Amino acid sequence: MAGMVDTEDELEKLVKASLHNRSIPSDVVDHDIISRVAQSLGTEFVPCAAVVGGTLAQEVLKIITRKDMPINNWYTYDALKGDAITCTLKP
């Protein structure tokens, strides 16, 4: 998403436009998720960056070594809940 957004409404419009441009159903992203992301706009949560960075490094090693299958498609880490989900987005 190009540019910085200031409000939850702007973020939701950008998300919906992005999904529409990629022919992805808009119900893939729940309004609650957009609201929670909007609450943290402009902040950087260092432990979250460490978790996502560690996961990314692990996935790169899987690709390089071809030992295990990497995460398929979409990985989302929820720092507020402390858990992650992996979604498969079909073309």
Whole-structure pTM value: 0.46
What is the rounded distance in angstroms from the CA atom of residue 69 to the CA atom of residue 50? 22
Q: Output the CA torsion 75→78→81→84 (10° steps).
A: 10
58-89 pLDDT tens trace: 888 988 998 887 777 777 777 777 787 777 76
pLDDT of residue 65: 93
Q: Which residues of 38-74 are buried (b: 16+ CB within 10 A; e: fewer)?
A: beeeeeeeeebeeebeeeeeeeeeeeeeeeeeeeeee
C-alpha angle with apex 20: 14 to 22, nearest 5 degrees?
Answer: 105
10-39 pLDDT tens trace: 888 888 888 888 888 888 888 888 888 788
